[in-house]
Amino acid sequence: MECAVFLEKPDEPTITVEILERDGFETSPPLFECYVAEEESENKSEDTVLVGYAVFCYAYSTWNGRKLVLQDVFVTDRLRGKGVGTKLFEEVVKHTVANKCAYMDCYTLHSDGLKEVFDILGIVNMTKTEKWDLFRLSGEALEILSIP
C-alpha cells in the first residue's frame, strides 16, 4: 500500500495478501518472484522489517524469446537515495542474465523519478525510441469481449 500512496494511486490496488501468497508461494511455477530488502526491527517481537522490494515475472517475446518483466521496485521513504533500490535493481538484472532472458522490460509512470535513473543506466525508453504503446484490457471491457 505504501507504494500505491507514493505513486498517488492509493485506491487502485485490489490484490490481497492471500492472493500474493497463493500466486508467489503456492503456485508452481510461481506467477511472480521477488527480492526483498529488510533491516533489523526496533520492535522486539519482530526480527526484521521489510524496507524495499523488487517484483518481477517472466513473459515471452515472439521476436526474442524469454524476457523478464520488472513490475515494481519500491523502497520505503526514509531509505530512498541510500542505494537500496539500486541493489534490488542490480539483483534483478543478474537474475535476468542468469536465467538467459533476452532482455528485461521495466514500467514506470511518467511522473515517477525512475525515468531519470533509467536514462542514466542506459535503459531504452521504448515509448520514445520504438513508438510502442502499452494497452490494457480489464474490467467491464474484458468481460464484454470474453462473451462468445
Domains and their CATH numbers in the chain: 2-146 (3.40.630.30)
Q: Which amino acid is at 90?
A: E
pLDDT band at 4 (very low <50, low <70, confident <90, very high): low
pLDDT band at 13 (very low <50, low <70, confident <90, very high): low
Stretch 129-142: mean pLDDT: 89
For the record, the C-alpha cell of 146 comes out as: 470474453
| Percentage helix, strand, coil for the chain under 3-state DSSP, each rounded to 5 | 35, 25, 40
pLDDT band at 146 (very low <50, low <70, confident <90, very high): very high
Question: What is the rounded average pLDDT for all residues in the chain?
Answer: 88
- Give the CB-side neighbour count of residue 56, counting CA atoms within 13 A: 26
Residue 65: what are its φ and ψ, rounded to 5°?
Answer: 95, -150
Q: How far apart are alpha carbons 72 and 94 in whole angstroms? A: 16
Query: Residues 6 or more apart from 133 whose CB is under 8 A from it?
Result: 127
Stretch 25-32: mean pLDDT: 96
Q: How far apart are alpha carbons 38 and 49 in whole angstroms? A: 5
The pLDDT value given to residue 108: 81
The pLDDT value given to residue 3: 60
Q: Is the pLDDT of residue 79 over 80?
A: yes
Q: Is the pLDDT of residue 131 over 90?
A: no
Query: How many helical (H) and strand (E) elements, i.e. helices and strands, does the chain have?
Result: 6, 4
pLDDT band at 41 (very low <50, low <70, confident <90, very high): confident
DSSP state of 116: H
The pLDDT value given to residue 12: 64
DSSP state of 133: -
Q: How far apart are alpha carbons 42 and 58 in whole angstroms? A: 36
Q: Which of 25-34, 36-45, 96-105 has the lowest mean pLDDT?
A: 36-45
Question: Of 140, 138, 66, 74, nearest to 107 (Cα)?
Answer: 74
